[in-house]
């Protein structure tokens, strides 16, 4: 039985909270009060059920209400809620988690620096790269190269490496020494090129910028192997990630992969970069890492990076009181147990095949310009003209309408403007997958009825 909630009173009282997401609340728009979650569903205070196709902002990979995770957290809380690790004391969940990450991450990645969320994981990864060269005596190597259109976080360092101008504008100028290059997005290539004939112009752009900055000054290149929901998961062109790895190796630059959205089985491999057999020097993880149960992230480095700090008798200076919280680590361990124990990486690959075949039916709607993705990360990109790939006008209206239609129909669908994002939990059943695609199909059809969109 759900607890009775005074929803209207709660909504009024919410004026005492900053909205964590922008734009700020519209005064006449009444948010739903969510009170409960189970599997892929969340329930509002009126008892309405929603199928969440965005997994609570890409976190709840194993679904809501998993007893195994809740019991692990409860058990840890009852024994020892928290004690900071790293001085003369350690706690079991943090150490076991580091050990587990060393087992499941690719290549030489084997030493984890635990943090509290995704922004801090990117922040720590960038700082770790710069500090690595500092302790090795290459004190001039501080520059960081990032890609336009990729998001790496909200803290100043992570934001300085974020290529979304709308997010940067209010904080500009950001940290000096951060330089952007073009994204590797074949559907929306900045140069208007096609992958068959472009000769990897995006990689050439990166090579040129590294040369311009002076490779000996560049500490790190940071990128997401598949950029996230903001740009609808554009896959890298063949050979691009391998080329980036070779470029870094040639110049001794550290490669950071942001696997915050795409790690832990999402793409049908435990980590996204395994799809191309390319391993970074530092990998940032968060979101699905703890399954949405408690905040947690990590910057996972190679043994060689950690060894450089040990040899210099230096620690990595990035102290946050709650880093490696024992209860959050217990949640992550239980979450990874479920992912491995229930074969959810393989399930994500299977769902990916299902989505590929069923989502392509949506091309019957003229507005659908591209359907792309892998595993449980997919995007339906709406355009004004499929051939020319022109953006819709007014931008975002059709995406917003489709999302609203889904919400009324009991389904949470994330739209980033006119990009519809499909990123459900790995435990989605076949029936739920069919239901999701059915509602999406209806919603697109409804939005395409002439006159449905004001101003079109």
List residues near ligand PLP by CB under 6 A. Answer: 117-119, 122, 151-154, 224, 228, 258, 260-261, 286
Among all chains, which residue has been given the structure tokens 């770790």? Answer: 128
DSSP 275: G
State both tokens at 338. 């479920």
Choice between 76 and 261, CB closer to ligand PLP: 261
* Smallest distance from ligand PLP to CB 162, Å: 8
Choice between 153 and 399, CB closer to ligand PLP: 153
Name the strands in the sheet holding 297-302, side by side, starting at the edge strand that comes first in the sequence: 109-115, 297-302, 282-285, 254-258, 218-223, 143-147, 178-181
Choice between 228 and 375, CB closer to ligand PLP: 228
Question: What region, left, alpha or beta, does residue 203 occupy, with left being phi > 0 and alpha being psi -120 to 50 degrees?
Answer: alpha
Give how far Cα 276 sits from Cα of 146, 225, 238, 326, Å.
Answer: 20, 9, 9, 34
Going by C-alpha positions, the residue among 246, 237, 247 that lies closest to residue 211 is 247
* Smallest distance from ligand PLP to CB 286, Å: 5
Residue nearest to ligand PLP (CB): 118
Choice between 76 and 150, CB closer to ligand PLP: 150
* Smallest distance from ligand PLP to CB 309, Å: 24
Choice between 156 and 307, CB closer to ligand PLP: 156
Distance between alpha carbon 306 and the CA centroid of its chain, in Å? 25
* Smallest distance from ligand PLP to CB 123, Å: 9
Helix (H, G, I), strand (E, B) or coil at 120: helix
Could you give the angle at which helices 430-447 and 397-408 cross, rounded to 10 degrees?
Answer: 130
Among all chains, which residue has been given the structure tokens 């395409």? Answer: 448
Choice between 308 and 422, CB closer to ligand PLP: 422
Among all chains, which residue has been given the structure tokens 């902002």? Answer: 57
Choice between 261 and 432, CB closer to ligand PLP: 261
* Three-class secondary structure assignment of 211-251: HHHCHHHEEEEEECCCCCCCCCCCCCCCCHHHHHHHHHHHH
Choice between 85 and 157, CB closer to ligand PLP: 157
């Amino acid at each position: 039985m759900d607890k009775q909630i005074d929803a209207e009173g709660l909504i009024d009282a919410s004026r005492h909270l900053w909205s964590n997401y922008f734009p700020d609340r519209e005064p006449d728009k009444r948010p739903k009060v969510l009170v409960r979650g189970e599997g892929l569903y969340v329930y509002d205070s009126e008892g309405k059920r929603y199928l969440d196709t965005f997994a609570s902002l890409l976190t709840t990979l194993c679904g809501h209400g998993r007893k195994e995770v809740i019991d692990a957290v409860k058990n840890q809380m009852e024994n020892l809620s928290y004690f900071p690790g790293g001085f003369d004391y350690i706690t079991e969940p943090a150490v076991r988690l580091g050990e587990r990450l060393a087992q499941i991450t690719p290549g030489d990645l084997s030493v984890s620096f635990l943090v509290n969320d995704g922004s801090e994981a990117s922040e720590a990864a960038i700082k770790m790269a710069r500090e690595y060269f500092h302790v090795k005596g290459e004190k001039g190597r501080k520059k960081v190269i990032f890609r336009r259109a990729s998001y790496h976080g909200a803290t100043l360092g992570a934001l300085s490496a974020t290529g979304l101008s709308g997010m940067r504008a209010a904080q500009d100028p950001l940290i000096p020494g951060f330089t952007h290059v073009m994204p590797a997005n074949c559907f929306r290539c900045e140069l208007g090129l096609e992958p068959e004939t472009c000769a990897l112009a995006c990689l050439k752009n990166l090579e040129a910028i590294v040369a311009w900055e002076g490779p000996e000054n560049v500490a790190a290149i940071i990128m997401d192997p598949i950029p996230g929901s903001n740009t609808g998961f554009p896959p890298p062109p063949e050979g691009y990630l391998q080329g980036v790895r070779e470029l870094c190796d040639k110049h001794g630059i550290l490669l950071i992969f942001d696997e915050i959205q795409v790690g832990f089985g999402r793409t049908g491999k435990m980590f996204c970069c395994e799809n191309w057999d390319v391993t970074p020097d530092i990998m940032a993880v968060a979101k699905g890492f703890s399954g949405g149960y408690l905040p947690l992230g990590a910057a996972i480095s190679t043994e060689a990076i950690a060894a450089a700090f040990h040899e210099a008798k230096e620690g990595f200076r990035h102290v946050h009181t709650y880093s490696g919280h024992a209860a959050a680590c217990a949640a992550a361990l239980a979450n990874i147990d479920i992912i491995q124990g229930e074969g959810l990486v393989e399930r994500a690959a299977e769902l990916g095949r299902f989505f590929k075949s069923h989502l392509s039916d949506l091309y019957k709607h003229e507005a659908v310009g591209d359907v792309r993705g892998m595993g449980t990360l997919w995007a339906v990109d709406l355009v004004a003209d499929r051939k020319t790939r022109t953006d819709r006008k007014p931008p975002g209206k059709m995406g917003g309408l489709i999302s609203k239609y889904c919400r009324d129909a009991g389904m949470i669908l994330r739209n980033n403007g006119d990009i519809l994002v499909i990123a459900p939990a790995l435990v989605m059943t076949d029936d739920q997958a069919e239901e999701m695609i059915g509602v999406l199909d209806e919603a697109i059809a409804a939005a395409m009825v002439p006159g449905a969109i004001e101003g079109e």
